[in-house]
Amino acid sequence: MLSTQRMFKYRLYPTSKQVTIFEKNLSVVCFLYNKLLEARIKAYKNGKKSLHKFDMNNHIVKLKRKHPELKGVHSQVLQNVSDRVDKAYQNFFRRVKERKGKVGFPRFKSFRRYKSITYPQNGHAFINDNKLRLSKIGDVKTILHRPIQGKIKTLTIKRTPTGKWFAVFSCEISVETQKHKFPDNKVGIDVGLENFATLSNDVKIENPRYLIASERRLKILQRRLSKKTKGSASRRNARLNVAKLHELIANQRADFLHKLSRFFVQRYGTIAVEDLNIKNMVRHPYLAKHINDASWGTFFRNLTYKAEEAGCEIAKVSPNKTSITCSQCRTDVPKTLAVRWHRCPNCGLNIHRDLNSAKLILSKADTVGTTEFQACEEGSSSLGAILESSPSAK
């Protein structure tokens, strides 16, 4: 048994009155966040004293006397705000210690940048399959499209930029590790931009480029937004149209990555990938947008957590020289990014550079086997059917 954490996300359909209460709660906790941050900054400036969560919780009690609107929010939701301020400081100190780029001191938040409230332990309960009871808010209509598993640790109510509301349950569940159906099936994956991924069995997965496909429409909507008067109703509508298109792009990308990662963990017992430092890669002045659009990091995370349940092994290898080393004789063949074909002068291997990298990744993980080529013939058509059935592909 493997104990892990899973998130269960459900769409909420609050009434107009409940939306007003949600917005008011967000405004109150945003105000409290700024007050606690201000108190912590002043305490350090005046007496070199660092306030911790216990001190900030005591400060919340004092603030309740001065600001009665804080009493309209559940007490544990208010205490979670002090936890957020404390985590902001912890992350700041960690970045200072690591000395990597800008450290980013915790800053004050505007109402638009504060998008969620959290119930750490209680204050919520399901009445039935379509009603979620929230303390000091009421019964909110909920679409419970799948049952919640495990022990509920926290509940977060989120507002999206498009005005949608979601309930996100963080649950601790016990996952029984299964034996994979095809333990001998092995594959190496080389991610890229020309193709999203090239497999060691010469299967290429096309890069959907969702952002690039919607870029023309996005440019038009952003131009319209820039011409609107600030604070006007037309500007709010224009901002909403831009947010809706960004949400569509994100949903298309998530749909593609979830289905693709599910396909791999079901078909292959061992998957070899590169341990890429994507944060450094997105600093490229010309390729950053395309790398972010491909979202390799999300793909690797999806593979990792789904492999835990499927009994699949993920082997991460060093990306050092995977693009220039020959997969057959290990001779270094230097080439620029523009050279798309690998021609080895030593052994005569003549294949696409991405296929060569995928084969090298698999051999680096010591998982080379004959079954991977059989799995290719069985899985290539299934992969096409999966991606073609995706709404995002259509």
Q: Which helix (H) or strand (E) holds 209?
A: none
The string of DSSP letters for 24-87 reads HHHHHHHHHHHHHHHHHHHHHHHHS----HHHHHHHHHHHHHH-GGGGGS-HHHHHHHHHHHHH
Which residue matches tokens 């209509």? 141
Structure tokens at 321: 């020289």
Alpha-carbon distance 225 to 357, whole Å? 44
How many CA atoms does the CB half-sphere of 314 hold within 13 Å?
20
* Residue tagged active-site, from 86, 274, 293, 372: 274
Distance (Å) of CA 322 to CA 179, 189, 293, 325, 357 = 31, 12, 23, 6, 5
CB atoms within 10 A of CB 383: 18
Alpha-carbon distance 375 to 31, whole Å? 57
* Residue tagged active-site, from 190, 206, 215, 366: 190
Answer yes or no: 354 catalytic: yes
Those residues with Cβ within 8 angstroms of residue 350's Cβ, 6 or more apart along the chain or in another chain: 341, 342, 343, 344
Residue spans of alpha helices (H) in the chain? 16-47, 53-66, 75-98, 210-213, 215-226, 233-267, 278-281, 288-294, 296-310, 353-364, 371-388
CB atoms within 10 A of CB 379: 22
* Residue tagged active-site, from 86, 293, 354, 372: 354
How many CA atoms does the CB half-sphere of 188 hold within 13 Å?
28
Alpha-carbon distance 5 to 170, whole Å? 7
Give yes or no for a contact between 361 and 368, defined as CB atoms under 8 angstroms apart. no
Alpha-carbon distance 316 to 276, whole Å? 9
Considering only the C-alpha atoms of the chain, give the largest distance between any 2 of them, rounded to a whole number of Å. 80
Distance (Å) of CA 89 to CA 37, 92, 110 = 10, 5, 18
Query: Residue 356, Cα to own-chain centre: how many angstroms?
Result: 30
Would you please indicate which residues are annotated as catalytic (active-site) residues?
A: 190, 274, 354
